[in-house]
Structure 1
Amino acid sequence: MFQKFQKNRKGFTLIELMIVVVIIGILAALAIPRFMKASAKSKTSEAQLVLKQIYTMERTYKQQFDTYSADLNAIGVEVPPNAKYTYSVLAADQTTFTAQADWAAPGIDDDATPDTWTIDQDGTILHTSNDLTG
């Protein structure tokens, strides 16, 4: 009678279920950090795009007024309504300007490390403080 009960048994053993849970845990441990890093990198693309827009608008302003402007509104930059960065022109005169993008929240990956980008009159974009590498 005991052997007949064993043959008709359907389903998985506890060991089999535990092995599946361990495998899923290992896969998640490998995938989640990669996903988080890819997600954080995608967030930085906003800064680069808006800084390129600032550069273009500053060049246009310079052609019209023979100087760069420290006022984003004066050059006509439109920051996205849900911008993840705050934008400013740090310095502007007749020959140079430097604009900056600062992560508006504590950090891209929710730590205290800031994420900061700059662009200058030559169009050089620098990642001056990188939250992704600490």
Structure 2
Amino acid sequence: MRIKKIPSFNLQEMLIVLAILGILLLIALPNFMPLISKTKAQEAQIQLKYISNLQRQFQYLHSKYSADFNEINYEAPRTVLENGSANYRYEVTEASVNTYKVRATAVVDFDGDGIYNVWEIDNEGNPKQIIKD
């Protein structure tokens, strides 16, 4: 009885392929960093628009904007630093009868340059990037 050999790759060939893929990934990764930062910034924009809607509803009912998330029934998501999934911390920086301003500050440096992304929204309802990561 003869055992038939099955063609396959050996361990050395597989390691060489993995090393080449790793090198290609390291070369390509810096090109994808702006795209990754832009994608993660979507989280801040969506949450800020949601907070803006809640502020507008609160203003219709109470004729003023609120400086307290509990008053507008907003529970901020837990950040990655708190074992959550959010990359931004949210805070009301200004609230009065006619205006409000809410800030989203990144808790993660997306591209490793030491600059943290910051977004703001005001009573006009348009998120604006204050500090670009």
TM-score bracket relative to the smaller structure: 0.7 to 0.9
Deviation at 1:111? 2.6
Tell me, what secondary structure is at the counterpart of 1:91? strand
Alignment of 1:34-113 (within 5 A): 34-81=31-78, 82=84, 83-105=86-108, 107-113=109-115
**% identity of equivalent residues:** 33
Quick one: which amino acid aligns to residue 95 of structure 2? A
Tell me if the contact between 2:119 and 2:127 (Cα under 8 Å) persists in the aligned partners.
Answer: yes
Please give the alpha-carbon distance, in whole angstroms, between the structure 2 residues aligned to 1:23 and 1:69. Answer: 52
Which residue in the other structure is 1:123 paired with? Answer: 125
Deviation at 1:22? 7.8
Deviation at 1:114? 2.0
Quick one: which amino acid aligns to residue 46 of structure 2? L
Please give the alpha-carbon distance, in whole angstroms, between the structure 2 residues aligned to 1:60 and 1:29. Answer: 48
Tell me, what secondary structure is at the counterpart of 2:70? helix
Which residue in the other structure is 1:6 paired with? Answer: none
**Is the radius of gyration larger for structure 1 or structure 2?**
1
More helix by share: 1
Please give the alpha-carbon distance, in whole angstroms, between the structure 2 residues aligned to 1:23 and 1:76. Answer: 48
The unaligned stretches of length 5 or more in structure 1 are 1-20
Please give the alpha-carbon distance, in whole angstroms, between the structure 2 residues aligned to 1:114 and 1:92. Answer: 24
Change (3 A) 1:104 1:23: closer
Quick one: which amino acid aligns to residue 53 of structure 2? T
Residues 36-83 of structure 1, C-alpha deviation per residue, up to 9 Å, x if partnerless? 222221111110011001100000000110000011121111322321
TM-score w.r.t. length of structure 1: 0.72
Number of aligned residue pairs? 110
Deviation at 1:29? 5.5
Deviation at 1:30? 5.0
TM-score w.r.t. length of structure 2: 0.73
